[in-house]
Structure 1
């Protein structure tokens, strides 16, 4: 998270600040994620499902209540804690390795590459299983209602499909995470470095604005990967190629951008919340941790 003028971020600060930020962001923005996922899933035969995510929120709230909008939230929040702890740790570790040893500077390209590596690591260790569970729960709640809880969902998936079932959609998820983390973490730090060089003072409002801009860039550039990931992780899991075929069959090329509006609404807020929270936690931890780890 540190800009060019700052030294390397201690690993414990990356893990704790990223994990807390991920949990807070995941919980506060979950209804956006729920609606976006519903809009991206295939329609239930004989049931007219709105494609406008805002209509999805209204319909679910009217028919199923507020609790339904948080179906699968536990899995996503737990996953967000692990995902962002790993993502911030990986990003800061790679970024520290890429820094110019004399000036501490980091080029925009290396910022983006550090984000890409962080996304791949996060997908393999935390994101794919939790996204699979979350998506299966949201999909199942539309019609079959087989899963009684997140744990029951996990046990059922493993029983029916083995441990590999938790990694359905791994290719699509990794493509999404690698590109999304590259754009989100990279663009945020590029903007922050640009501001620091020009003497722009970092504050909560500035951090939130930078995170929101990074969220917009991320959404517009990576939405097709997110749609493919959602389709391949539905209750009736399928392969990445089959997911691509069903999207093209149902909606054509434009189908890859289904859920963009709701995801854009979420990522604007989530980017602001994520980086503002992470910066705030890091600001508290750095004065405590840095003296302890300093040579």
Structure 2
């Protein structure tokens, strides 16, 4: 299972709530690195080199634009992450319960990846694509035209100019990224957990953080091209998936599809540890509360 302390009987509402809490915490705490990665992946002016060091990007933006600029688009990402991680933990837990071995309660590595991929597609449709579109447009707009005053204003402008399809710009790239990223992140994490459980390795905060960090590294290296394409598609003015791919090849060649890898690695190692550790902790708090509330309601009803 995803959760260390809980078992296969984790209620769906607990998975949803704990995933949402974990997603919000992870998005907010790691946002400056996400900001730096997105800035690097967007098209830059000719002749102006782009720093590879995420801390250098953050420092430069802080000096020239202030600390508020580093959190431009953060609200959209936090809201999207609450929905995204709530949905993907919910679906992943439910899929795992449906396909788990009845005797051991575990899944094969292939089924782990398939469960994660399915959860990623659902999350992309339900929350990720529109929230990522707004976040990326805000970051891009802040360095160029500065048309958008806030996340709500950006949503309103994009809706008026392009309709709902404008909010789902980059859907193909985002869905490919989410499906593969969730498959690798959730799959790797659970493969590690199953391996440790069979060998009676204690599941504590340190173990959860380490497993989440390893899952983050695997995820980043395997899915970076999709992330670059998604970012290019979701710039302030938007672009089709084909146009995004062409622009990356034109600017940097094949190596451009791994643009921002170092920055994303820094974030995913950090955020992967935070995400799963927060999820495990949230389940430990929410599950007893939910069980107690359910028991009280049933007692009163009887």
Q: TM-score, normalised by structure 2?
A: 0.93
TM superposition shift of 1:274: 0.3
Structure 1 residue runs without a partner (length 5+): none
Q: Which residue matches 2:44?
A: 43
TM superposition shift of 1:49: 5.1
Task: Give secondary structure in 1 for the equivalent of 2:43.
Answer: coil
Does 2:133 align with 1:97? no
Whole-Å separation in 1 of the counterparts to 2:112 and 2:138: 35
Maintained 8 Å contact 1:120/1:177: yes
Maintained 8 Å contact 1:111/1:190: yes
Structure 2 residue runs without a partner (length 5+): none
Q: Which residue matches 1:8?
A: 9
Q: Which residue matches 1:62?
A: 63
Task: Give secondary structure in 2 for the equivalent of 1:267.
Answer: helix
TM superposition shift of 1:5: 9.2
Maintained 8 Å contact 2:6/2:283: no
Q: How does 1:119-268 map to 2 (within 5 A)?
A: 119-268=120-269
Maintained 8 Å contact 2:5/2:284: no
TM superposition shift of 1:104: 1.9
Maintained 8 Å contact 1:157/1:165: yes
Whole-Å separation in 2 of the counterparts to 1:40 and 1:246: 11
Maintained 8 Å contact 1:72/1:137: yes
TM superposition shift of 1:3: 6.1
Q: TM-score, normalised by structure 1?
A: 0.95
Whole-Å separation in 2 of the counterparts to 1:3 and 1:193: 10
Maintained 8 Å contact 1:3/1:196: no
Whole-Å separation in 1 of the counterparts to 2:98 and 2:56: 46
Which range moves more in the overlay, 128-137 or 95-104? 95-104
TM superposition shift of 1:164: 0.7
Kindly report the root-mean-square deviation, in angstroms, between the aligned alpha carbons of the 2 structures. Answer: 1.7
Whole-Å separation in 2 of the counterparts to 1:95 and 1:123: 19
TM superposition shift of 1:100: 1.9
Aligned residues: 293
Whole-Å separation in 1 of the counterparts to 2:49 and 2:63: 14
Q: Deviations over 1:37-74 (max 9, x none)?
A: 0000001367x252423332121011011111000000
Maintained 8 Å contact 2:106/2:194: no
TM superposition shift of 1:6: 2.9
Whole-Å separation in 2 of the counterparts to 1:90 and 1:7: 13
Whole-Å separation in 1 of the counterparts to 2:55 and 2:255: 18
Task: Give secondary structure in 1 for the equivalent of 2:183.
Answer: helix
Does 2:27 align with 1:22? no
Maintained 8 Å contact 1:90/1:118: yes
TM superposition shift of 1:158: 0.6
Whole-Å separation in 2 of the counterparts to 1:5 and 1:15: 14
Q: Deviations over 1:89-140 (max 9, x none)?
A: 0111111111123432211111111000000000000000000000000000
